[in-house]
Structure 1
Amino acid sequence: RESRQRAESALLLAVVTLLLIRQLLKQRRPRGFPPGPSRLPLIGNVLSLASEPHVFMRKQSEKHGQIFSLDLGGISAVVINGYDAIKECLVHQSEAFADRPSLPLFEKLTKMGGLLNSKYGRGWIEHRKLAVSSFRCFGCGQKSFESKIAEECLFFLDAVDEHKGKAFDPKHLITNAVSNITNLIIFGERFAYDDREFQHMIEMFSENVELATNAWAFLYNAFPWIKILPFGKHQRLFKNAAEVYAFLVKIIERFSQNRVAQSPRHYIDAYLDEMYKTSGDPEASYSKENLIFSVGELIIAGTETTTNAIRWGVLYMALYPNIQGENEKEIDRVVGGARFPCWDDKASMVYTEAVLHEVLRFCNIVPLGIFHATSVDTVVRGYSIPKGTTVITNLYSAHFDEKYWDHPELFYPERFLDGDGNFIKREAFVPFSLGRRHCLGEQLARMEMFLFFSTLLQRFHLGFPPGSVPSVAPRLGMTLQPQAYCICATRRQPDAKCRTGKF
């Protein structure tokens, strides 16, 4: 018996040794690969990404150059910093950098299907084309859709009004209002602000956006076997994802009832039409599972980013009353009090545009974008990057690139205005990323931000409760969102008398 135990111990030791050797071999940089910071055995640079990874990466670029590598626990990743390098990869070599990495976390959550995380190929092309078509047919491509956003703005303003100038946290109301714009495209209708089931789903989505860049998520990608551990934030992420998946199954079934083939009312109908048309094609990517993934991704992508951009905008207006005052003067001059702001006013409201652009630049809503991967072997600035390499584009570094921005550490909307007060586009402004995988909802997000922000400032003056100045340090995740804060919204304009865009 004793000899048997010794044999088992020796076998276990041999297996562990082989696994350690295998892991260490995985950590060797490929020939011609970009250099990078020193790393720890087994876990590589994972711990360095536990706090403000976008800041860490920008600092490392000062030592190792705009293109360097990180070791994510045996996963070799390339980090692209600075606008020039990002443009060189995502625009000049757009196809080579258009894939998504086959990371264990992505594979578990979406099986590399759906829309945002799908591999570069037919599946991504089909789903992107359908999403773009749906946004055009059911959303921002329609002039009439502006009136739907304007109507949601009024629901939002009325909800703010209920606080009667007293302090409240605007996160819930902004999230509800913004999510309803995407809901109109996906489901064909909005959800009431007190729909607890839908709000619970949005809260779980938002929590997973934070958890997806937690150190536990990076460790799971490096060591998928940790799924057997009963603890760790990755377990919370998986629990949330399963609950959201079950909810989406139910809600998709609800909104697909009474469907008339080839007469789509919303994205779900359009997707089911494509499923039917390609049902005889074994290579087609449309499926009920990919429909669920796509709906979930569109909801969170359409809610989380725009919500946080508006929340940052509200926070900075209260922090900088002089900037808010200039905004209010412009709104009063261009729009007045006889009607609400409309999309056509944007060309005349250059200061408001400058403020919104500075919010997106300075606050870096999605600092690292969504991870890319190389679809082929490629060479960038003399470095060899093999096919399938994880690529992280540090959009934050582009927005703080001193080659393109004077004093980027300052919140200064006037950087988007010329000497005559006209709005100017800035080349290194890339909040929606670049290349083939750039945000497909950019136009809708811009319309939402402008209309929600301008109508809010038209009716209310924003300030903090007496003696309260919140922190501007962000909560970290795939997106950067403000810490919870309270605002006081004091009326500036009289009650609206109808919901058609006029008082």
Structure 2
Amino acid sequence: MSASCARQIFSLDLGGILTVVLNGYDCMKECLYHQSEVFADRPSLPLFQKMTKMGGLLNCKYGKGWIDHRKLACNSFRYFGSGQRLFERKISEECMFFVDAIDEHKGRPFNPKHLVTNAVSNITNLVIFGQRFTYDDHNFQHMIELFSENVELAVSGWALLYNAFPWIEYVPFGKHQKLFRNAAEVYDFLLQVIKRFSQGRVPRVPRHYIDAYLDELEQNAADPSSSFSQENLIYSVGELIIAGTETTTNTLRWAMLYMALYPNIQERVHREIDAVLSNGRAPTLEDKQRMPYAEAVLHETLRFCNIVPLGIFRATSQDASVNGYKIPKGTTVITNLYSVHFDEKYWSDPGVFLPERFLDSSGNFVRREAFLPFSLGRRHCLGEQLARMEMFLFFTTLLQRFHLQFPPGTIPTVAPKLGMTLQPKPYSICAVRRQQRVPHAGDTPFDR
């Protein structure tokens, strides 16, 4: 590894917790790709231990339990989701519910957060529960709101204090108490939902992730080393819902914001959509290759807006050596993905929103190396393929039907709301119907 990478590693003391920060693409690749297993653990932070007992899927320690849970989740997302042709149709149907709900605002200003969140979470719901939730299911919406609030609270000053001084659990005030109350309420709700959707289950004939998990639980019941449990099922379902909702939702909310902010870019997306989708037919994944500019806009949104700027904290699973630096086993590791996407070695003018950086001189889409919105290595996002499907279909369906603009005399801030994810601050937008025949929820998405 180069000497420049050595400068991209530094250590911090976070309230007595030894932490190493990785910066820049070269450093990230060396650690997360070339030493993938070494940097695949999770830190045993008091907050993680309190919330999930280091179980579940996202915060699970690196080892057999994590391998078993990740394998099940990956297989479920493939088998019940992105691996089947039928699933693309289900996403397209959700896209229609989504744009029809937007249509009800008749071009008047509205905050898109609620609708985007519900539409996106429904795709993950199809994998986990085998069905979608309606946009007026207030119980499910309340759960998503609590999840979202906890994503912010988990990096609040109180959360950091709790990691440094776990005894403040007994201090009756503070945001950490709100975090714990939210989590308890969510887990109670998830337990009821899991019971509901496992009714009528036939062993070894799974309809969705919950059935598949219960199969594993039963088959491993006699194995004392098995990590499959009712408790870990609740944690895993919760983590899959929030991971599958938060990032894709925020990407689409940023994309809508930037389309209204840059009408010339939006107009070019409109022209590409109109050229490819003749007669107003709904977009399909086959159209992606013929829409390089729309793809470039989505990739630039992911790069520029840094939805998960610091990834999810990692830890070293064994003693590590990086360019002569010794990093002890169990060290907390922060992957600064923000620094990767603004690394001037790989991006010219990184502070400018420029979709063209993902196009070659002929206008074809090109992949860029220093692009890690889904992280890298063993802990990379398992729902990446599904997220890419969703982003493309929601974005192109939305812009096929609407022109996005801000209410007269308003321009929202592009400063993000800080948390474990970077989301836009609440904004209002007008979705004005375009003069083109486009499909409705009752139409068959794959009609030619």
**TM-score higher than 0.5:** yes
Structure 1 counterpart of 2:203: 261
The amino acid of 2:443's aligned partner reads R
- 1:15-34 aligned at under 5 Å gives the runs none
1:447 aligns with 2:351: no
1:462 aligns with 2:400: no
1:164 aligns with 2:103: no
2:88 to 146, 154, 158: 146
The amino acid of 2:303's aligned partner reads R
Deviation of the 1:230 alpha carbon: 1.6
1:386 aligns with 2:340: no
Counterpart CA distance in 2 for 1:477 and 1:439 is 18
* TM-score of the aligned structures, taking structure 2 as reference length: 0.97
1:432 aligns with 2:369: no
| Matched residue SS, 2:173 | coil
C-alpha contact 2:317 2:329 (8 A) present in aligned 1: yes
1:496 aligns with 2:446: no
Counterpart CA distance in 2 for 1:358 and 1:295 is 30
Divergent runs of 4+, >4 A: none
Higher-RCO chain (CA-CA 8 Å, sequence separation at least 6): 2
The amino acid of 1:295's aligned partner reads V
Higher CA-based Rg: 1
Point out where structure 1 has 5 or more consecutive residues left out of the alignment. 1-60
Deviation of the 1:229 alpha carbon: 1.2
| Matched residue SS, 2:334 | strand
Counterpart CA distance in 2 for 1:86 and 1:364 is 15
Deviation of the 1:337 alpha carbon: 3.1
| Matched residue SS, 1:490 | strand
| Matched residue SS, 1:314 | helix
| Matched residue SS, 1:408 | coil
2:32 to 69, 90, 93: 90
1:281 aligns with 2:227: no
1:9-47 deviation per Cα after TM superposition (whole angstroms, max 9, x unaligned):
xxxxxxxxxxxxxxxxxxxxxxxxxxxxxxxxxxxxxxx
Structure 2 counterpart of 1:173: 115
Deviation of the 1:460 alpha carbon: 0.3
Point out where structure 2 has 5 or more consecutive residues left out of the alignment. none
Counterpart CA distance in 1 for 2:286 and 2:438 is 23
Q: Alignment RMSD, CA only? A: 1.2
Counterpart CA distance in 1 for 2:278 and 2:130 is 32
1:306 aligns with 2:248: yes
Deviation of the 1:495 alpha carbon: 5.1
1:191 to 133, 138, 157: 133
Deviation of the 1:496 alpha carbon: 2.3
Deviation of the 1:175 alpha carbon: 0.3
1:410-439 deviation per Cα after TM superposition (whole angstroms, max 9, x unaligned):
000000011111111100000000000000
| Matched residue SS, 1:392 | strand
Counterpart CA distance in 2 for 1:486 and 1:179 is 21
Counterpart CA distance in 1 for 2:142 and 2:85 is 32
Structure 2 counterpart of 1:408: 350
The amino acid of 2:444's aligned partner reads T
| Matched residue SS, 2:192 | helix
Identity %: 72
- 1:366-381 aligned at under 5 Å gives the runs 366-381=308-323
The amino acid of 2:59's aligned partner reads N
Counterpart CA distance in 1 for 2:359 and 2:74 is 31
| Matched residue SS, 2:363 | coil
Deviation of the 1:65 alpha carbon: 2.2
Structure 1 counterpart of 2:71: 129
Counterpart CA distance in 2 for 1:396 and 1:344 is 31
* TM-score of the aligned structures, taking structure 1 as reference length: 0.87
